[in-house]
């Protein structure tokens, strides 16, 4: 059996529909305005880019393994000391007395060792 609805509920439905349509139009206008304010991407010189063919990489290994670096290349930088050896692995918990790296600068190492032992 159908229930007769009052004219008031019809008015509420119409008001809700109009409000949602207005909200959609305002949102669409805001998005359009935002897109008009975007700046174009900066251009770069063709000589600074590397242009090469893309090839597919196929990996058909079916075992679990851990990737490890075979060769570590140290890149020289203008500094008083250089890191020779990293003593701890990444993502481990360290404390205040944990030694993380060994340095190669003898003056710094000597100064540090005299502070520790004296």
Dihedral sign of CA atoms 40, 45, 46, 49 in order: negative
More confident position, 34 or 59: 34
86-102 average pLDDT score:
76
Q: Map out the domains of the chain as residue ranges.
A: 9-38, 80-118
Cα separation, 116 vs 110, whole angstroms: 10
The reported pLDDT for the residue numbered 64 is 64
More confident call, 58 vs 118: 58
Helices (H) and strands (E) in the chain, counts: 2, 2
Contact 102, 81 (CB under 8 A): no
pLDDT at 105 over 70: no
The pLDDT mean for the chain works out to 76
For residue 103, the SS3 value is strand
């Amino acid at each position: 059996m159908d229930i007769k609805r009052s004219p008031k509920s019809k008015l509420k439905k119409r008001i809700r529909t109009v409000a949602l349509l207005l909200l959609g139009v305002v949102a669409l206008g805001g998005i359009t305005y935002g897109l008009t304010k975007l700046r174009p991407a900066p251009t770069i010189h063709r000589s600074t880019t590397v242009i090469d063919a893309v090839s597919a990489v196929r990996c058909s290994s079916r075992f679990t393994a851990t990737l490890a670096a075979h060769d570590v290349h140290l890149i020289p930088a203008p500094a008083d000391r250089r890191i020779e050896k990293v003593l701890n692995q990444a993502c481990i918990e360290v404390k205040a007395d944990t030694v993380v790296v060994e340095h190669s600068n003898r003056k710094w190492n000597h100064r540090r060792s005299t502070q520790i032992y004296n």
